[in-house]
Amino acid sequence: MPDAFIPKHPVIAAYPKMADAFAEAAEIAAYLKEKGLDAPTGSLYNEDLRKRIKKREFDMLIAVGGDGSVLRAGHLCAPSRVPILGVNLGRLGFLIQIDRKDWREYFEKLFNGEAWIENRMMLHAEHIRAGENMGDWNALNEVVVGRGALLRPVRLTASVDSRQLTSYVADGLIASTATGSTAYALAAGGPILPPELRNILLVPIAPHLSVDRAVVLAEGASVSITVHSENAVLSIDGQPSITLMEDDHVDIRAAEVTTQFVRFGDPGYFYRNLTAHMNENSIGLPR
């Protein structure tokens, strides 16, 4: 088992658009107070709180919300190597072990030294136009090059380690982490990868008379997606899209930073969490 992790300076960040997030955060803060820990509480979007997190004033962030909240927390915390503990108020919670009704039980385990830190790979994406870097980002789930508002497919070429892999005529192409394999990539028909893998997964979206299979790249490989259409956009972890032009390319590799999560139990938690969600979604369906 990995080394035990016990935080000394936690902070609580609530997702402001989710009902009951601040009330739940206040209960967690009161619990921590009983343990002798003063944990500042605020919105995940509060700039003062975000600056303090970036300065590494805290050694753990408790994200109260859903998977989207944890995803945003990952972008915030990864550069400062601040581990994230999610408390799920949402529906799915693929990224979160702890449900709102169970957090007291898990927090007791936390302070008994039964938690450990899991590192998950992120992607680094660069948007290149005529040799100029137009922007770069880190993604925990996926980088997507897809069609914009026009209802017609885009033409893309994917190269791996500077060697052309294949061309696509499709609604788009997803470059996913193992974490993202249970997100958009799964909906597009990709395989589920265990979270410890550091491989990039390529999944086409609604391909038309072109390669329709997902490809798992070797660990350490990089991919470059070149646009051959005028209606393509770039999206990082589902954030607002960026317009791409013909001949633009998006270069993707493993990021230098990782997102750190506070976990409980053995690493097999991932499969138990996954099967629980699948069984939940199958309730009421014909067998």
The three-state secondary structure class of 247 is coil
Longest CA span, the chain: 62
Q: How far apart are CA 62 and CA 73, in angstroms?
A: 9
- Annotation says 20 is catalytic: no
Q: How far apart are CA 156 and CA 138, in angstroms?
A: 22
Strand partners, 124: 138, 253
Identified catalytic residue from 3, 67, 247, 248: 67
Specify the residue for token string 């930073």.
257
Q: How far apart are CA 237 and CA 243, in angstroms?
A: 15
Nearest to 121 by CA among 263, 265, 256: 256
Other Cβ atoms less than 10 A from the Cβ of 285: the count is: 6
CA dihedral 115, 53, 74, 161 (to 10 degrees): -110
Tell me how far CA of residue 150 lies from CA of 57, 167, 172, 232, 264, in angstroms.
Answer: 46, 20, 12, 9, 45
Other Cβ atoms less than 10 A from the Cβ of 235: the count is: 18
The three-state secondary structure class of 47 is helix
Q: How far apart are CA 163 and CA 246, in angstroms?
A: 20
- 3-state DSSP percent of the chain in helix, strand and coil, to 5: 25, 35, 40
Give the residue numbers marked as catalytic: 67
